[in-house]
């Protein structure tokens, strides 16, 4: 993380108000510049970059071995996409080394579209759940169909839930247990 000019190294993530955010990262001061050197782990607004929650401060002396910083806290911002960023307070230095960042946040499930519709005969535009994040224990998501013009003769919900297995997901699609009936009933 070069500190010759102000800046931040960040990743945008979806956070849920009140969720636990855990972290672990390694930091090492680079020779040259101020001693010690400091890396900050923060949550900032995803469009303005304005910091609204500090997570960790790691101060490391030049020549010291890698220092590991771990912790957790409750996310205090609004639900939505925010930046989780590293920043330094050492302008004019050669920089800081940051490695092995591990961010523990809730996995996120959402529909791939806000609404779905199709003709019974084709029935191919079925909802899917998109999963992002690390699921540490099998997680069951209940399924309920409400509203719309279809009735129980137009479809069959073969299960009232789907179970997401343990894993690390990056936009993985899980189809709903839904079958469309081509019954010619209006």
Determine the straight-line distance between the first and last CA of the chain, rounded to whole angstroms.
62
Listed residue (37, 34, 76) closest to 57, CA to CA? 37
Per-residue confidence (pLDDT) for residue 8, from 0 to 100? 81
Take residue 99 and report the two structure tokens written for it. Answer: 């490695």
Per-residue confidence (pLDDT) for residue 94, from 0 to 100? 72
Q: By percentage, how much of the chain surpasses pLDDT 90?
A: 40
pLDDT exceeds 90 at position 132 = no
Task: For 25-60, give the DSSP string.
Answer: EEEEEPSSSSSSEEEEEEEEETTT--EEEEEEEEEE
Q: Taking the CB of residue 5, how many other CB atoms lie within 10 A of it? A: 7
Q: What is the pLDDT of residues 139-152, one digit of tens each?
A: 999 988 876 666 66
Which domains can be identified in the chain, with CATH numbers? 8-104 (2.60.120.260), 108-180 (no CATH)
| Average pLDDT of the residues in 92-103 | 81
């Amino acid at each position: 993380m070069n500190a010759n000019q102000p800046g931040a190294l960040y990743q945008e993530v979806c956070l849920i108000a009140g969720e636990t955010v855990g972290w672990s990262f390694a930091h090492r001061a680079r020779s040259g510049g101020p001693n010690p050197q400091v890396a900050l782990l923060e949550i900032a607004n995803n469009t303005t970059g304005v910091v609204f929650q500090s997570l960790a401060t790691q101060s490391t002396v030049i020549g010291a071995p890698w220092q590991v910083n771990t912790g957790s806290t409750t996310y205090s911002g609004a639900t939505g996409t925010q930046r989780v960023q590293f920043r330094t307070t050492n302008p004019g230095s050669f920089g800081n080394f940051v490695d092995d960042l591990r961010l523990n946040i809730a996995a996120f499930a959402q529909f791939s579209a806000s609404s779905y519709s199709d003709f019974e005969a084709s029935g191919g535009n079925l909802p899917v759940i998109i999963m992002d994040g690390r699921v540490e224990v099998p997680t069951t998501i209940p399924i309920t169909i409400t509203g719309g013009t279809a009735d129980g003769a137009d479809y069959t919900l073969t299960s009232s839930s789907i179970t997401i297995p343990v894993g690390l997901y990056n936009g993985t699609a899980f189809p709903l247990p839904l079958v469309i009936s081509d019954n010619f009933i209006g």
